[in-house]
Amino acid sequence: MLGATHRGILMFLRSAHRRVIVAVSLTALTVTMAGLLPVANATDSAVTWVPGGSKTCPPVPANQDPADPVYYDFVSSYRSACASRENWDRVFSDATASATVDGRIRVSVTASVALAGALASLKVGDKEYIASGGHGASLQYAFHAWQAGEQATECYNPTQAGSRLDDMGFEPPFHGPSTSALYRLATTGTTIRTAVRPAMYMERGDKTLGWNSCAAADHQPNRQPYSAGLSPYWLSTEVRMAPDHGLAGLENVIKLSAVLDSEDEYHEHFSAVLVAYLQRDFTATYTYDPATGAVNRFTGDLTTLLPSIRCTADGAYCLGMYFPAANHPGAYYYTMTREPFAYNAFLGEHTVQMTAPTSRVGEGAKTRLRYDNYLVVGDLDRVTGTLGEVHRRVAP
């Protein structure tokens, strides 16, 4: 994922590639990687997954035009019944946590096995916020590492949900098994925890050129874990809802925390992204200044140091993003809007994200990085008021 770019499903391009996940043992792969992969602790046996094979998954709409609301909803609104439970040689179940706001409104998040623990769904009541079609969307973490004199590239891009190839050859809604190696997906109370070895979004063996015509084989060494489509990073995440997040009275807040451990060689430059792809009716964008309470609407893309909000046009449903700036020096918010075109599978892109750049990461330098974010849901007034309260409580 380069910036917030949605690496789409490219529904109109069908590849002969189909990843045979169950044919490879992750435990066996551990031996060949000389410790680059931790030993799996799941013991379930894998089963064959057939896209759309669940009895409770609705059939794929006959009209596969992304402009059709029925087809858009089928692809972009996550349904566990339409998604794989397999990851390499193991089977998990999706994890959902929820809280009740104002004693009556359920807010829920679902971490998907098919997307290696990325958040495929965030609902307020029955309203779905997240656009989850394919392994390049949803709400997930992605990273870039590059050397001095170079630029960040999609061809060296560890990505939580999986790789580009994970969508090739599969039928809608493109929630087949992920290349990212999932080791933990568990719920305790209102907390979801994951542990994952992120895939490279452009796998080393992928012959398709990435963004700006990069070739993955030019950027990734010919050795493990790259040869397996994986990255030399280990990502552990926590998603905490009320009351586990410790913010009493703020049931409309979701706390996201992540720790990234690097086993990579030294890189002069490094960047982390937490990006939320929202449904295409989230067209209105705002910034919020916690120092003054000012709310400003804007259009187009924006890079800013102010917490950012994306809403439906009427302001009834909004998602605000906040991070403690003092804990993430150099980090910023980025909001992006893209009309439908081939690169985003004609679904469009409506994102809000945190980008956290740093330097000197890898062997002989920093090998552990931490990220903390807060998501706030509700209507525009509720979100701005809650963002102010979150800032007062958590800013150092």
Per DSSP (E only), the strands in 66-208 are 86-87, 90-91, 95-101, 105-111, 119-124, 127-128, 139-146, 158-159, 181-188, 191-197, 199-200
For residue 179, pLDDT over 90 is answered with yes
Confidence label for 339 from pLDDT (cuts 50, 70 and 90): confident
Sign of CA dihedral 204, 209, 211, 215: positive
Count how many domains the chain has: 1
Q: What is the mean pLDDT of residues 92-109?
A: 98
Q: How far, in Å, CA of 139 to CA of 12, rounded?
A: 24
Per-residue model confidence as pLDDT tens digits over 6-47? 343 332 222 222 333 333 445 444 433 334 443 333 433 333
For residue 375, pLDDT over 60 is answered with yes
Per-residue model confidence as pLDDT tens digits over 115-152? 999 999 999 999 999 999 999 999 999 999 999 999 99
13 occurs within a structural domain: no
241 occurs within a structural domain: yes
10 occurs within a structural domain: no
Q: How far, in Å, CA of 12 to CA of 381, rounded?
A: 41
30 SS3 class: helix
Instruction: Give pTM, 2 decimals.
Output: 0.89
pLDDT at residue 55, rounded to an integer: 64
Beta bridge partners of 2: none
Closest CA relative to residue 76, chosen from 114, 136, 133, 120: 133
CB atoms within 10 A of CB 19: 20
Q: Which two tokens stand for residue 291?
A: 């120092």
Give backbone dihedrals phi and psi of 349, rounded to 5 degrees, phi first.
-140, 130
pLDDT at residue 56, rounded to an integer: 87
336 occurs within a structural domain: yes
Q: How far, in Å, CA of 81 to CA of 121, rounded?
A: 13
Q: Which domain holds residue 140?
A: 21-394
Q: How far, in Å, CA of 248 to CA of 237, rounded?
A: 22
- The domain spanning residue 49 has which CATH number? 2.70.98
Q: How far, in Å, CA of 371 to CA of 265, rounded?
A: 21
15 occurs within a structural domain: no
For residue 202, pLDDT over 60 is answered with yes
Please list, residue by residue across 244-273, b when 16 or more beta carbons sit within 10 angstroms of its beta carbon and e when fewer do: bbebeebbbbbbbbbebebbbeebebbbbb
Question: In the Cβ-directed half-sphere of 192, how many Cα atoms lie within 13 Å?
Answer: 24
1 occurs within a structural domain: no
2 occurs within a structural domain: no
Q: How far, in Å, CA of 32 to CA of 165, rounded?
A: 23
204 occurs within a structural domain: yes
